[in-house]
Amino acid sequence: MKKRKILTVLILCVVVLAVITALSYVIEAHSQKLPAVVSSEKVIVSSEVDGLMKSYAVASMQKVNQNDLIAEISNTKIPYKLETLKKEKQKYEELINSAHSGDFLKNEVYDIDKSIQSNQSDLDKAQTDYGKTCDKLQVMRDRFNNSLKQFQAEKNLYNQGIINTSEFDKASREYWDVNKEYTELKSDSISAQQMIKTSLNIRNLLQARKNIMTNNVDILASKYILDLNDVEADINDLQQEVNNFRIHSPISGVVTDINYLPGEKIDRGDDIAEIADLSKIWITAYGSSSSSHQIHPGQRVRVMCSRNKNIMGTVSTVSPVMEKVKSLSSSFETVNTYTKIEVKINNMEEALQYITPGERLFIRIYF
């Protein structure tokens, strides 16, 4: 009797294993396993000053919060200039206190009035140019919005396979031509605004200078006050550069790239680091040529993470064009063509616990 029970249990185990094997085979036959990488939007952190890289406060693949210190740049010339200007400021303050009245006030005021008139002409022209640009921009904005809607519609048709690649490429070129023209007009508008702002600042400065001359009989003191204002403006600019020696993270995320070593020369505008935005991540997978026919947007996806954790997602886009992807073997570098598949993650909060931008993993797409 006991042997019969053991035999029954063994038979049941075999049956269960057979059922599991059959189900696994069916699932495997109706799904595809593909290599993938965790992608994210990237933010480039650039230097606003010239100098030498002093040190990084972070390491590659380290998580950072917004406003965390990223790096420090050194430039011994700027602190020296700043100290020199402070001494010059002190000199003008002493001269103003000891200045005496002069006889050239009327001539100085006359020259300032001429400068104000010339500046007014520049301001009038800048305001006229700005008005014309705004009119063109309004017309172009409507055209851009219509072009964007048309492009999005063509993209949807393309994703659905209603139009071919050449038709979509033509729609894309037309959209980007309009986009370029619209962007250039916006840039012209900003430039015109800046010109107006500059002219107004110059006029205000000239008017302030005239007021000083008119209300202060001490002509020497007036000149020194103006020189003092210039020096103070230069001090403020240099102080801002000193503040920019410390570079902070504009977002919370993961440092994915560090471009310099301590002691290397940095120019204004150089990219010193790259940060992945953790709030905007997705999975990019690469399949064979048959993938573009078997895989479609909306299909269910299982992302196989580390620690045997799986998270779920959905196919969002499948590229109809094969793309070249570089890979490395143990002995040589190869370049193959793949179908690029983008996967939207269902639960972002859960995903951030198990995946990191740049991480390589596998996914399984269910047909």
The predicted pLDDT at position 302 comes to: 93
Dist CA 22 CA 14 (whole Å): 12
Q: Tell me if 100 sits within 8 A of 218, measured CB to CB.
A: yes
User: What pLDDT is recorded for position 2?
Assistant: 61
CATH 3.40.1360.10 matches 31-72+253-366:
no
Cα distance between residue 151 and residue 170, in whole Å: 10
Alpha helices in the chain (DSSP H): 2-29, 77-98, 105-159, 165-215, 219-243, 291-294, 348-351
Q: Which one-letter amino acid corresponds to residue 110?
A: Y
Where exactly are the structural domains of the chain?
31-72+253-366, 74-248
* Residues 341 and 284: beta-carbon distance below 8 Å: yes
pLDDT tens track of the chain, all 367 residues?
666 666 666 667 666 666 556 555 545 557 888 889 988 888 899 998 888 888 999 998 888 999 999 999 888 777 778 888 888 888 777 666 655 444 445 566 677 888 888 888 888 888 888 888 888 888 888 888 888 888 888 888 888 888 888 888 888 888 888 888 888 888 888 888 888 888 888 888 888 877 766 665 455 566 677 777 888 888 888 787 777 888 999 988 889 889 998 889 999 889 999 998 888 889 999 888 766 678 889 999 999 987 788 999 999 999 888 777 665 444 444 557 788 899 999 998 888 888 888 888 999 999 8
Q: What is the pLDDT of residue 81?
A: 82
Return the pLDDT at 220: 57
CA dihedral 99, 104, 110, 114 (to 10 degrees): -70
Q: Of 222, 227, 225, 268, whose CA–CA distance to 245 is shortest?
A: 268
* Domain 74-248 is found in CATH 1.10.287: yes
Whether 342 contacts 283, CB under 8 Å: yes
40, 61 Cβ separation under 8 angstroms? no
pLDDT of 3 reads 64
pLDDT at 102: 46
- pLDDT, residue 29, reads 57
Write down the pLDDT at residue 19: 54
Write down how long the chain is: 367
Tell me the C-alpha distance between 117 and 110, whole Å: 11
In this predicted structure, what is the pLDDT of residue 191? 81
- How many Å is the Cα radius of gyration of the chain? 33
Nearest to 300 by CA among 32, 39, 26, 22: 32
- pTM assigned to the model: 0.46
pLDDT at 204: 84
Residues 253, 230 contacting (CB under 8 angstroms) = no
